[in-house]
Structure 1
Amino acid sequence: MGSRCVKFGVIALILTGHWKFNMAPHGKELSEDLKKRIVALHKDGLGYKKIAKTLKLSCSTVAKTIQRFNWTGSTQNRPRHGRPKKLSARAQRHIQRLSLGNRRMSAASIAAEVEGVGGQPVSAQTIRRTLHQIGLHGCRPRRKPLLKMMHKKACKQFAEDKQTKDMDYWNHVLWSDETKINLFGSDGVKRVWRQPGEEYKDKCVLPTVKHGGGSVMVWGCMSAAGTGELQFIEGTMNANMYCDILKQSMIPSLRRLGRRAVFQHDNDPKHTSKTTTALLKKLRVKVMDWPSMSPDLNPIEHLWGILKRKLEECKVSNIHQLRDVVMEEWKRTPVATCEALVNSMPKRVKAVLENDGGHTKY
């Protein structure tokens, strides 16, 4: 009766958390060379204590190593048998087919599907672990424009026409585009490195404002020779405003590239309007035929990204300061940066061909 009460008391202490086990920590496994040295010293007649002192190990480690050698005749560990896999090879193939068939299918949905087919309950964590073993990991999808078949065909045709062009041709192209630059924050997802309890530190939060924020729209151009003109856009840009930008900012930048210069802009309705087309024809500007929905091919897109990352390091509090900093950083852009971006054009064209007109890493 007394022993039974003691057992119940011990169980109660364990369940309530008042009983703590002092588990010995697991040390690192000894290397094969070290195990062989222990056995060799023991064969030479040294005792456990002397071996432990010589190799700076504990006596228990030395004793276990020698005892294992005496039992098995080897210093290598015996094969270890872990817990058997819960999922069969057939179930794993089914999981792989489901995940590859629908890349946006969650682990919980796959688990429910597997359980519905085989009747075996499976957790979402088991699904994730299985997918990790075959090289599939949950990642944030890249943001890319929606490409229809007509867009892919146009991009592929452009790449086929330009794949024989050398760097002398690309060096005479004036690339242009518009972009929005925010005063606070950004349109993308930001991440920070932080430790537990640092959620509200100044360095770990993304500041927002209720009033006084805003953004600026800019038009810019670049070539292998460096950045061209940059102009701020007031209000909503229409074809007439775009024509003014072309006359005031594009033409001076284009003339610096000489007679062989080619002007590039996308197929925005303002760029392809009758007013804009007539102006470019009057000014005798060679315009590159550009496929729709193809930002991967335009190196100025990467220049905007470089500019915005630089602006994140600058502390500005209003639109006027933002304009000054944008213009200053734009003019400060090294020529080598623009040259490197333009030098990537043959690789961009090749990537489009390899992906049959689809998305590329650019």
Structure 2
Amino acid sequence: MSKLGPISHFRFPVSCDSLVLQGLRCEWGAGVLNLVSSLSHFLILTGHWKFNMAPHGKELSEDLKKRIVALHKDGLGYKKIAKTLKLSCSTVAKTIQRFNWTGSTQNRPRHGRPKKLSARAQRHIQRLSLGNRRMSAASIAAEVEGVGGQPVSAQTIRRTLHQIGLHGCRPRRKPLLKMMHKKARKQFAEDKQTKDMDYWNHVLWSDETKINLFGSDGVKRVWRQPGEEYKDKCVLPTVKHGGGSVMVWGCMSAAGTGELQFIEGTMNANMYCDILKQSMIPSLRRLGRRAVFQHDNDPKHTSKTTTALLKKLRVKVMDWPSMSPDLNPIEHLWGILKRKLEECKVSNIHQLRDVVMEEWKRTPVATCEALVNSMPKRVKAVLENDGGHTKY
């Protein structure tokens, strides 16, 4: 009689080495060994029996597994399949046997390391991040540790937030919109949503902007490798007092760019009226009798002097909601102009003026037309966001 007792004597999962060491091969008869062989094969396929073996090679792809099963169903044996696909017989046999037991060629879900955070802790992290969008991962980790008493790293917090779709991003810079601004923007969009492109093509858009001698005030990025932080091509040159800049007033329409006027010193209402008479009126007349003039609600634009001049010249002025640069297509034209200027090498203000004027006149009509054609989408975006910010 066997000294090992019944098979239930072993606790699963067990390893093949443990059975051999316990004298199974020596003590049991051939019939019992056949039974154990079949049972062990079943335990291997179902995952209850684990092998103490060296790491195996690259895992077979799903397509290759399906080809093995398909060839076996066609009547080919293990050796022929192995020779055809240039695999070992044992690999082919294990693939087919696993398919016979499980009915699929896919691997069972593997169990990784248990998550450090419970589902409750993950919900707490989500509430903290959504409640304060600017809260850092380190601050959230400290908060979670203070509540649950479990130490959590900032990287664990980041991974948890990534899993629920939250990522750390640079916030968009947008004007501060109060409730009255949102109502005005929504009212503007409701009034203009039925306007066709013929209306927008007769609008003269205007605005002022500052152009720096050494690049823009925005955030810049460069591609670099470790150790290249201070190479000339990877740094952003700066000079004392900014190196100088110019202020310009410009206008545009779907027909192309209009006049461009440089502003000397601080602009007041009287200077703005001179710009309107010298630069705006000639550009507006090119659009015909149905032309509409647009400018924002800057105090110089809404002053009594400016209002009286526009009324005297019989200029149709578009009612404009405050804090709405995203509705003015010339804002994007300024961005295009400044990116072109970054490619030009200028060393003083006089050269900057010449290059600005040259690039302004070279702006393609198609660029202006495309910007104006986006007005129906801009209006729709304002309505969809209930007067709030848009992507423009």
Superposition TM-score, scaled by structure 1 size: 0.84
Change (3 A) 1:19 1:89: closer
Q: Deviation per CA, 1:260-311, whole angstroms, max 9, x where unpaired?
A: 1111101111111111111111111111111111111111111111111111
Q: How far apart, CA to CA, are the structure 2 residues paired with 1:60 and 1:141?
A: 57
Percent of counterpart pairs with the same letter? 99
- Counterpart contact for 1:172–1:261, Cα < 8 Å: yes
Q: For residue 218 of structure 1, report the CA deviation from its aligned partner.
A: 0.6
CA distance in 1, matches of 2:54, 2:172: 47
Q: Greater shift after overlay, 48-57 or 116-125?
A: 48-57
Report if the CA contact (8 A) 1:212-1:318 is conserved.
no
**Structure 2 segments unaligned to the other structure (5+ residues):** 1-21, 36-43
Q: Distance in 2 between matches of 1:114 and 1:183?
A: 49
Q: Distance in 2 between matches of 1:32 and 1:248?
A: 74
Calculate the aligned-residue CA RMSD, in Å: 7.7
Name the SS of the counterpart of 1:259 in structure 2: coil
Match of 2:151 in 1: 121
C-alpha displacement at 1:22, in angstroms?
20
Q: Which runs of 5+ in 1 are unaligned?
A: none
Larger radius of gyration: 2
Q: CA deviation at 1:67?
A: 9.1
Residues of 2 paired with 1:324 and 1:12: CA distance? 94
Offset at residue 201 of structure 1 (A): 2.5
- Which fold has the larger relative contact order, with Cα–Cα distance below 8 Å and residues 6 or more apart in sequence? 1
The C-alpha deviation readout for 1:30-83, integer Å capped at 9, x for no partner, is 212323556788999999999888656689977986897899897543431111
Q: CA deviation at 1:210?
A: 3.4
- CA distance, structure 1, for counterparts of residue 240 and residue 50 of structure 2: 52
In 1, are the aligned partners of 2:270 and 2:305 still within 8 Å (CA)?
A: yes
Larger CA deviation: 57-66 vs 291-300: 57-66
**SS of residue paired to 2:141:** helix
**How many Å separate the matches in 1 of 2:98 and 2:50?**
31
How far does residue 361 in structure 1 lie from its aligned partner after superposition?
Answer: 0.6
Alignment partner, residue 130 of structure 1: 160
User: Could you state the TM-score of these two structures normalised by the residue count of structure 2?
Assistant: 0.78
Distance 1:241 1:73, change over 3 A: closer
The alpha carbon displacement at 1:246 in A equals: 0.5
Do the aligned residues in 1 keep the contact of 2:66 with 2:105 (CA within 8 Å)?
yes
Query: For the residues of structure 2 that align with 1:294 and 1:74, how far apart are their CA atoms?
Result: 59
Partner SS, residue 96 of structure 2: helix
For 1:213-252, what per-residue CA distance to the aligned partner results, in whole angstroms no more than 9, with x for missing partners? 1111110000111100001111111111111110110000
The answer as to whether partners of 1:173 and 1:223 remain within 8 angstroms in 2 is yes
**SS across alignment from 1:211:** helix
1:231 aligns to what SS in structure 2?
A: strand
Inter-CA distance 11–124: structure 2 relative to 1 (3 Å threshold): farther
Q: Structure 1 residues 207 and 278 mapped into 2: Cα distance closer, same or farther (>3 Å)? A: same
- Would you say the 8 A contact 2:216–2:338 is kept in 1? no
SS in 2 for 1:206: coil
CA 144–60 in structure 1, closer or farther in 2 if over 3 Å, else same: farther
